[in-house]
Structure 1
Amino acid sequence: MNILEKSKIPLEILVATTNRTNLDFIYNMFKNNVLEDYYILIINQTTKEEVLISELPNVRVINSFERGLSKSRNLAIREAIGEICLLADDDVVYQRHFEKPILESFKNMPEAGIISFKTITTDGKRYSNYPNQKINLQKFYKKVLSIEISFKRDAIIKNKLFFNENFGLGSVFQDGENRLFFEDVFKTNQIKAYFSPEFIVIHEPLSSSDDVASDRFIFARSALNYKLHGNFAWLYVIRLIVSLVRKKLISFSEISSKFRVANQGIKTYKSMLHGK
């Protein structure tokens, strides 16, 4: 299959990775499928001394010398050529024929601009407590993983929807980019977004967003809540820390230090907002 001979690419997988010099990881991602049957765009954040080269006609590579997951996602969106795109990380494995429920869902819901799907863990369990039927994504978006997100590229480009590059792994605030992306989607009121209850991808039981007791998460989540709610962010900070104590994820002796981390996250966001 030669990608240059195709005038229409129905589905393209947009893979974010770092410091890769060979394509071994891609073969693992598609070990349940035939790699040559899929169009793939890899954004490899690396250095000029160690770049990734693809000799596979269906796999394009862009070596980027920036840092940050959201910057990687945005570059992929701008450079994608597929009608429908699927976000991907380099540590996932796809279900056999995972493309079928994606393409069929967009066919059955032609008005949809975004559709999210389900992840199954490596121990055979559902990653989240997913709904059992197709629903409007606005009812579920806060729990959606980036690897579950598919979209019509033209709709995203037309509405100038990109990830906030201050949020996400490798950024100042290392969480919250998906939440902000969907908040922007719903604000436009131009894109219909849905959840469809089919498994498409396999992932470890935990992701970076599940480390809810870490300083990294609290720092980012506090900034996110300030961006969304202003000074009411402190109500969300209190609720988060109380929840962590109740679940015994932090001890009473850690409460004051977690509040300091939250305060620093909000202060950092404020200073960036005002250009200080």
Structure 2
Amino acid sequence: MKVQVLVAAMNQHDHTLVEKMNIQSDVIVGNQCDFNSIEQFEYRGYSATYLNFSERGVGLNRNNALMRATGDICLFADDDMVYVENYTELIENAFLNHPDADIIAFNLVEDVPTRYIIKDTKRIRFYNFLTYGTARIAVKLSKIRENGILFNLCFGGGTTHCHGEDNIFISDCLKKGLKMYAVPISIAELTEERESTWNSGYNQKYFFDQGVLYKTISKKLWKLLCLQDSIRHARKEYKTSWMNAYTLMIKGGKELK
């Protein structure tokens, strides 16, 4: 079982990132920069590839790496992650312990936790998948390819809609019948050294894009998704009324024909 890390990065001008991230497996770095080249070399006995492309968009970046992936199990990493020493063993064992799993979500360590912390092993279904982003999941590459699943190019940093490409990716996996689990195992730490390329706060643009995202995920349930999001997050996280958040999300969703 070969584990391979697929990193979405920007403006890398040398190969120090793989050492900084403590990579201990095969790796492909999608490096969006101002030049075009493909570099292949050996790192710690593993195969390393840099895809240097003068283009923008996180979905496009992840697709470039995903289309060239060769691992049995693939991770979708960001360039502000540092993997733990035995991450390949942890991931391999998780799939061995859940032989029917096509996707497994893990924990990411943060100094100040902002992401949901998995405390118990659980099955992830369509009603509870929105908690998990792609930086914390591992996938069976064969299942992704058999079902023709790629990242939506209209969502995420550097695109029209500022976020949500990971939610749509996982949604597409579940719609295709792939089985997903979450396990209480940490595989990497977030250094949080770089600023987000898309998050400028919970403003009108954010809510508008959230509505577009939910309608893209489900044209039947999108209004309900907007409602639950608004009620759950408006007061403590969004710092606005749930009605204001909901109204803006609905306005965004209606723009998607």
Provide the TM-score with structure 2 as the length reference: 0.82
Equivalent pair of 1:120/1:203 in contact (CA under 8 Å): yes
Contact 1:118 1:126 in 2 (8 A): no
1:23 aligns with 2:15: yes
- Opposite residue 10 of structure 1, the aligned amino acid is K
Alignment size in residue pairs: 251
| Equivalent residue letter for 1:226 | K
Residue 44 of structure 1: CA displacement?
A: 0.8
Greater mean deviation of Cα atoms: 138-147 or 200-209: 200-209
Higher strand share: 2
Q: Secondary structure at the match of 2:107?
A: strand
How far is 1:231 from its partner?
7.9
CA distance in 2, matches of 1:131, 1:210: 27
Q: Which structure has more helix as a fraction of its residues?
A: 1
- The match for 1:156 among 141, 144, 152 is 144
Other-structure match for 2:58: 69
Change (3 A) 1:230 1:39: closer
Residues 162, 199 of structure 2: 8 Å contact kept: no
Contact 1:12 1:86 (8 Å CA) reproduced: yes
SS, match of residue 22 in structure 1: coil
1:26–1:90 CA contact under 8 A, matched in 2? no
Query: Larger Cα Rg: Structure 1 or Structure 2?
Result: 1
State the 1:103 CA deviation: 0.7
Shift of 1:241: 4.7
RMSD: 3.2
The alpha-carbon distance between structure 1 residues 242 and 194, as it changes in their structure 2 partners (threshold 3 A), is: closer
Task: Using the TM superposition, give the Cα deviation of residue 230 of structure 1 relative to its aligned residue in structure 2, in angstroms.
Answer: 3.8
Flag structure 1 segments of 5+ consecutive residues without an equivalent: 1-8, 271-276
From 80, 86, 96, give the equivalent of 1:91.
80
1:243-262 alignment runs, 5 A limit: 245-247=234-236, 249-251=238-240, 262=249
Could you report, residue by residue, the CA deviation over 1:177-207 in whole angstroms, capped at 9, with x for unpaired residues? 2221122112222x22211210101125899
| SS across alignment from 2:256 | helix
Alignment of 1:134-153 (within 5 A): 135-138=122-125, 140-153=128-141
Q: Which runs of 5+ in 2 are unaligned?
A: none
How far apart are residue 108 of structure 1 and its match?
2.4
- The percentage of aligned residue pairs carrying the same residue is 24
Offset, 1:92: 0.8
- Match of 2:92? 103
SS, match of residue 111 in structure 1: coil
Q: CA offsets, 1:200-246, max 9 Å, x none?
A: 01125899598772334212211012224448645554554555553
